[in-house]
Structures are given as structure tokens and as C-alpha cells.
Structure 1
Amino acid sequence: MTLAIDVPMLSIPEYARRSGTTVESVKKQCDKGHLPFIQNEPRGTRYINMVQLMKRCEEANAAKPWN
């Protein structure tokens, strides 16, 4: 299986748009640790780490033979 991402990081609004959810929902998912993000300074802009998210998905499905 080949996985490809078009960008390594996405802004929260762009991730929300692409995933069909709200910005507020994405922020809550980040706060709860459900989405990996990069933030370079306190109160700075958060970016969804698409590389880490892809790795998490890959690892979560690796042990399931039906996937």
C-alpha cells in the first residue's frame, strides 16, 4: 500500500474544510490529543501534522488483518 500526502502540515481551517468538520471541532480534537499538531510558540498558530496523523492511522490498522 502506498500512502501519499500533498502537504506535511495543514492549518486548522484548511484541515476542517478538507475533513468536512468545523474549526471548533478540530481545535477540540487537538486539545484532547486526538489530532497531532505543531505549534511553534505559546498561543501560536497550530498546524495539523499530517505526517504524524498518517503514521498513527497506519499503526492503528497494522494489527487488524481485515484492513
Structure 2
Amino acid sequence: MFIIGSAVFIIAFSFFKVTALKKTKNQNESWLKLVSVFLVDLIVLMVGTLGVGIFFVSLFNVFHG
């Protein structure tokens, strides 16, 4: 179940990230800012993956007893 939750969250977050990158494509970014954005994205992905996984497992337990 955690794998399904992970896949759903990562796909949704990827669509969000692609849209954000298209909007800022022409701007010059510093390496420090890019690294900080990467770390924030990594934390968001980890928390979101765990959260959606827990949500799906909870739903599974509710409907299967």
C-alpha cells in the first residue's frame, strides 16, 4: 500500500514541479538557491509519501476490517 501512495504522490508532485520549472525557465538561479529548493522538495516528497501511504493503509484497514 505504501508503494501505491508513493506513486500517486510522486506523480502529482512531478506535475507540479514541471509546471513550476516552466514558469521559471528563463531566470538565472544560483546554485545555493537550487540546492535549497532541492532539499525542500526532498522533504516534501518524503513527508508526502509517508502521509499518503499512511492514508491508503488506513483506508485499506477501514474497508477490510
- Measured against the shorter chain, the TM-score band is 0.3 to 0.5
Instruction: Say which structure, 1 or 2, has more relative contact order (CA 8 Å, 6+ apart).
Output: 2
TM-score (norm 2): 0.33
Between structures 1 and 2, the one with greater helix share: 2
- Superposition TM-score, scaled by structure 1 size: 0.32
